[in-house]
């Protein structure tokens, strides 16, 4: 899908109207660089022809149906609800991995979706995160990311783990691997183009307001978009969320949550319901431990052995002090997970973390990707591509139900497709340890040669 062309100045007509657009209160013209493109036709009007149902503005270019179907509203100072002529079904703020995947999923359900990106190009702020060598793209109905696979498979074989910490050049975080940003940009643009999503770049959102009986307005300087629902996938930048009162901040300290290891395994395989997390402060016999928790800087999630999380910890004899140190020594504890860590465990556990699925204004404004991380009040490190995909799918399901659209995919169907695509032949099962051994041996030889020659 081609990006939207730069804005043009609209012809003025008597009465302070722009032809084919709503009122701009005060009758004042917008500057050329602030005026929205002449994209006034309804999203469905493209089927009836690009010129159907509206007057052509003098000097307007012909033959660009993609540009004509975007119902952006030109606003002057003080413009309000009366400026709306048509509304999108979904407006997605942010064209990173989470926003692009959610828009792709929603558009495949038949919804009219527009993606608003503040950068000059799609994916400009995407920084990356944990990646798996499993066929996650098949589960989400995405094309095969050929540019990622060599990087992921090489380093997964070297580490002998199921995931790696990757980043995107030219802004990597100094992690293990990195791949070119141009490849990721082309991949995200292809996702939107494949689903028929409209992309508006260089659209810096300043305000998001929800009318009680009307649409949700996404406003920028000189233009606005009206939609029935909005999905915010703006990444770790808290400025937009804080400006609109959408950022959840903790008063002090962190919290401890417990979740079952077996429950997580069933949930990942699509064989069971979502996980239930139990908060330490709400469990009987943990009043003293809760007081110590308030002095911790971040949330901690603890996985326990067994099929269910403990309903009571009264017999664990918690005392004030270093709660994490005491948890590590308990025989029922499987693993301690800190909110600052980045990796596969973060993706899996936070997927069951209730604050990550926040709903604002009912179900009309949702968060996805790094914007949904419950880490307000401090710098929030990005959780990566798999976390973005997980929250994008959950947000798409919620928005589709809110707009009475049938569900296109189910979690069990995702899991079945992943298992089918992830079956490894017996020959590859023997070759994988061999490739890992050869990669480590080559790395060791390289270090020895460097040491001897130096």
pLDDT, tens digit (0-9, with 9 covering 90-100), for 208-247:
887 777 788 888 887 888 898 888 888 766 667 666 666 5
Task: Indicate whether 203 pLDDT > 80.
Answer: yes
pLDDT for res 172: 43
Decide: 84 and 215 in contact? Cβ < 8 Å.
yes
Q: Give the percent of the chain with pLDDT over 70.
A: 33
pTM over 0.85: no
Nearest-5° angle of CA 127, CA 112, CA 69?
Answer: 100
Decide: 362 and 107 in contact? Cβ < 8 Å.
no
CA pair distance 423, 419, nearest whole angstrom: 6
Q: Is residue 261 part of a domain?
A: yes
Task: Indicate whether 387 pLDDT > 50.
Answer: yes
Name, in order, each residue with C-beta under 8 angstroms of 280's C-beta and a sequence gap of 6 or more.
Answer: 255, 256, 257, 258, 286, 289, 290, 293, 313, 323
User: Alpha helix (H) ranges present in 334-383?
Assistant: 344-350
**Where is average pLDDT lowest: 29-43, 122-136, 305-319?**
29-43
How would you class 439 by CB atoms within 10 Å of its CB: exposed for 0-12, middle for 13-18, buried for 19 or more?
middle
Q: Is residue 262 part of a domain?
A: yes
CA pair distance 268, 336, nearest whole angstrom: 19
Report, as an integer, the average pLDDT of 74-89.
50
The DSSP output letter for 174 is S
> What's the count of helices (H) and strands (E) in the chain, helices before strands?
13, 18
Q: Is residue 144 part of a domain?
A: no
Provide the edge-to-edge strand list for the sheet that holds 300-304.
278-279, 256-260, 300-304, 333-338
pLDDT for res 209: 82
Tokens found for residue 354: 């209730």
CA pair distance 198, 114, nearest whole angstrom: 5
Report, as an integer, the average pLDDT of 284-293.
60
pLDDT for res 251: 40
Decide: 69 and 45 in contact? Cβ < 8 Å.
yes
Q: Is residue 265 part of a domain?
A: yes
Higher pLDDT, 387 or 171: 387
Name, in order, each residue with C-beta under 8 angstroms of 71's C-beta and a sequence gap of 6 or more.
Answer: 39, 40, 41, 42, 43, 85, 86, 87, 88, 225, 226
Listed residue (340, 355, 332, 341) closest to 259, CA to CA? 332
Question: What would you report as the CA-atom Rg of the chain, rounded to the nearest whole angstrom?
Answer: 25
Q: Is residue 31 part of a domain?
A: no
Mean pLDDT value across the chain: 61
Other C-beta atoms lying within 10 Å of the C-beta of residue 298:
14
Task: Indicate whether 68 pLDDT > 50.
Answer: no
Nearest-5° angle of CA 145, CA 229, CA 197?
Answer: 35
Q: Is residue 114 part of a domain?
A: no
Give residue 399's pLDDT band: very low, low, confident or very high (50, 70, 90). Answer: confident
CA pair distance 33, 37, nearest whole angstrom: 10
**Where is average pLDDT lowest: 205-209, 403-407, 435-439?**
403-407
Question: How many folded domains does the chain comprise?
Answer: 1
Q: What is the pLDDT of residues 88-104, one digit of tens each?
A: 889 998 888 888 888 98
Q: Is residue 363 part of a domain?
A: no
- Which residue segment(s) compose the domain that 316 sits in? 256-341
Dihedrals phi, psi of 444, to nearest 5 degrees: -65, -40
The DSSP string of 94-161 is --SHHHHHHHHHHHHTT--EEEE-SSSSTTTT----EEESS-HHHHTT----TTTHHHHHHHHHHHTS
Give residue 114's pLDDT band: very low, low, confident or very high (50, 70, 90). Answer: very high
**Where is average pLDDT lowest: 251-260, 326-335, 403-412?**
403-412
Task: Indicate whether 274 pLDDT > 80.
Answer: no
Give residue 388's pLDDT band: very low, low, confident or very high (50, 70, 90). Answer: confident
Q: What is the pLDDT of residues 301-356, one digit of tens each?
A: 777 776 666 665 555 555 555 666 667 666 667 666 554 333 344 444 444 443 33
Q: Is residue 169 part of a domain?
A: no
Higher pLDDT, 451 or 57: 451
pLDDT for res 356: 37
pLDDT for res 350: 46
Kindly list the distances between the CA atom of residue 133 and the CA atoms of 5, 12, 271, 430, in Å, as whole numbers in the listed order. 38, 56, 21, 17
Helix (H) or strand (E) holding 399: helix 385-402
């Amino acid at each position: 899908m081609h990006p939207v062309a730069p804005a043009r100045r609209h012809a003025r007509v008597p009465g302070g109207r722009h032809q084919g657009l709503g009122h701009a209160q005060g009758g004042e013209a917008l500057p050329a660089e602030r005026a929205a493109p002449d994209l006034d036709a309804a999203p469905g009007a493209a089927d009836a022809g690009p010129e159907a149902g509206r007057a052509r503005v003098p000097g307007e270019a012909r033959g660009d149906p993609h540009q004509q179907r975007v119902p952006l509203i030109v606003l002057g100072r003080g413009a309000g609800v009366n400026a709306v002529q048509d509304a999108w079904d979904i407006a997605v703020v942010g064209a990173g991995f989470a926003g692009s995947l959610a828009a792709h999923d929603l558009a495949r359900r038949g919804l009219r979706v527009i993606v608003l990106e503040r950068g000059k190009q799609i994916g400009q702020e995407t920084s990356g995160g944990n990646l798996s060598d499993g066929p996650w793209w098949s589960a989400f109905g995405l094309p095969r990311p050929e540019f990622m696979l060599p990087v992921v498979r090489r380093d997964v074989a070297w580490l002998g783990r199921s995931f790696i910490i990757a980043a995107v050049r030219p802004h990597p975080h100094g992690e293990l691997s990195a791949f070119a940003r141009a490849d990721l940009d082309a991949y995200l643009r292809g996702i939107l183009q494949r689903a028929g999503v409209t992309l508006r770049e260089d659209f810096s959102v300043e305000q998001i307001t929800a009318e009680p009986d009307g649409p949700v307005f996404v406003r920028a300087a000189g233009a606005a978009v009206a939609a029935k629902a909005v999905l915010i996938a703006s990444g770790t930048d808290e400025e937009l969320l804080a400006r609109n009162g959408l950022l959840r901040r903790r008063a002090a300290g962190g919290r401890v949550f417990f979740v079952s290891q077996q429950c997580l395994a069933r949930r990942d395989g699509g064989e069971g319901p979502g996980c239930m997390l139990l908060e330490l402060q709400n469990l009987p016999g943990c009043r003293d431990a809760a007081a110590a928790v308030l002095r911790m800087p971040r949330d901690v999630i603890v996985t326990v052995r067994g099929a269910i999380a403990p309903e009571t910890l009264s017999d664990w004899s918690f005392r004030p002090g270093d709660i994490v140190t005491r948890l590590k020594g308990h025989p029922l504890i499987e693993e301690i997970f800190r909110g600052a860590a980045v990796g596969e465990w973060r993706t899996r556990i936070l997927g069951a973390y209730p604050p990550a699925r926040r709903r604002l204004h009912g179900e009309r404004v949702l968060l996805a990707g790094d914007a949904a991380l419950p880490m307000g009040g401090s710098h929030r490190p990005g959780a990566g591509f798999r976390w973005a995909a997980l929250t994008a799918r959950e947000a798409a399901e919620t928005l589709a139900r809110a707009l009475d659209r049938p569900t296109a995919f189910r979690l069990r169907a995702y899991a079945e497709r992943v298992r089918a695509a992830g079956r490894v032949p017996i020959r590859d099962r023997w070759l994988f340890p061999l490739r890992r051994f050869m990669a480590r041996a080559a790395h060791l030889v390289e270090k020895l040669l460097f040491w001897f020659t130096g």
